[in-house]
Amino acid sequence: MKPAPFTYHDPITAGEAVSLLTKFEDAKVLAGGQSLMPMLNMRFVVPDHVIDLNRIDGIAGIRDGGDTIEIGAMTRQRDLMRNQVIATKAPIIGEALNWVGHFQTRNRGTIGGSLCHLDPAAELPCLMALYDAMLTLHGPSGPRQVPFAEWPLAYMLPSIGPDELLTGVSVPYWEGNTGHGFVEFARRHGDFAIVAVAALLTVDGGKITRAAISIGGADVHPIRLTEAEAALVGAAPNAAAFKAAAENARGIETMSDAYVTSAYRQRLAATLVERALSAAASIANENV
């Protein structure tokens, strides 16, 4: 088993990669290869051209941008887990990555690859939805920015042109006394999430001042529980408030597949929302 023939390109600048994407019609971008390579090996995709980003300088790495964390698209998942800026400013990212595949796949897999592949159950898109991350794309007419809320257009279809390249992600830093919770239910550890929930809570003077809840795996792309988030603001971070948020999750739109029904996903989402919020609150309370 191996891929159908293709022409391989290994540009050394992002500009060169964009030129190649503009020039060739049937081209696939190869980042860490942990999703594209299996699809090539099984001939689910049969591109004429493969454009490998691994030799490009300057689109990998993590930088503290003050009120944001700037992450290059080719940053490996392993490097996100080992990074001090992320560990202090957005520890949920490192924690959630424990659920992404296995350590051997995280050594190659990249954040940009995961965001462009946009698997409904993937953890990194769920986290970028949580943070309202800003994505930077480069195309023939220069760079443009896309907020994550506008990134998924449909099932595994990101808002990226055929001649565009995702180069970086900007993750806003949550000020104040913020706690986080990430919980996931999968059939086996490292397998795709049936449902994953990520939550952030900022608590000040015994009241929630800011909340975000992102649910992955339930629908065709990550969804934010905006109504429940709004209801949490001003409330005390207690079991009753989290139960109400969980009830809200029970009403979300969910997928059905060969193994798991839509109703089961809704029940799971409700349970996991409650757990993620409790975890977030206990971290926020510890910080006081």
Partner 1 sequence: MADTRDIELTVNGESRTGTVETRTSLGDFLRHGLDLTGTHMGCEHGVCGACTVLVDGEAVRSCLMLAVQSNGHEITTVEGLAEDDGTLSALQEAFWKHHGLQCGFCTPGMLTSLSAFLRENPDPSERDVREAISGNICRCTGYQGIVDAALDAAKTMRKGS
**Residue ranges that bind partner 1, judged by CB under 8 A:** 1-8, 10, 33-34, 37-38, 40-42, 50, 52, 54, 78, 101-105, 107-108, 188-190
Instruction: Say if CB 182 and CB 198 are below 8 A apart.
Output: yes
Give, rounded to a whole angstrom, the gap between the first and last alpha carbons of the chain.
56
Q: Closest CB to partner 1 among 107 and 177?
A: 107
CA angle, 210 then 159 then 98, to 5°: 55
Backbone angles phi, psi at 28, to 5 degrees: -120, 140
Report in angstroms how near the CB of residue 188 gets to partner 1 at its nearest.
8
Instruction: Say if CB 142 and CB 178 are below 8 A apart.
Output: no
Q: Closest CB to partner 1 among 81 and 218?
A: 81
Q: Closest CB to partner 1 among 53 and 268?
A: 53
**Unique residue bearing structure tokens 């490192």:** 94
Give 141's contacts (C-beta < 8 A, 6+ positions apart): none
C-alpha distances (whole Å) from 219 to each of 153, 236, 284 are 13, 29, 29
Report in angstroms how near the CB of residue 101 gets to partner 1 at its nearest.
7
Q: Closest CB to partner 1 among 31 and 127?
A: 31
Q: Closest CB to partner 1 among 20 and 281?
A: 20
Counted residue by residue, the chain has a size of: 288
Question: Among 66, 77, 53, which Cα is nearest to 127's?
Answer: 77
Report in angstroms how near the CB of residue 254 gets to partner 1 at its nearest.
26
Question: Among 254, 126, 261, which Cα is nearest to 198's?
Answer: 126
Report in angstroms how near the CB of residue 114 gets to partner 1 at its nearest.
14
Report in angstroms how near the CB of residue 25 gets to partner 1 at its nearest.
17
Q: Closest CB to partner 1 among 5 and 142?
A: 5
Would you state the structure tokens that stand for residue 228, as one six-digit string?
């429940």
Report in angstroms how near the CB of residue 55 gets to partner 1 at its nearest.
9
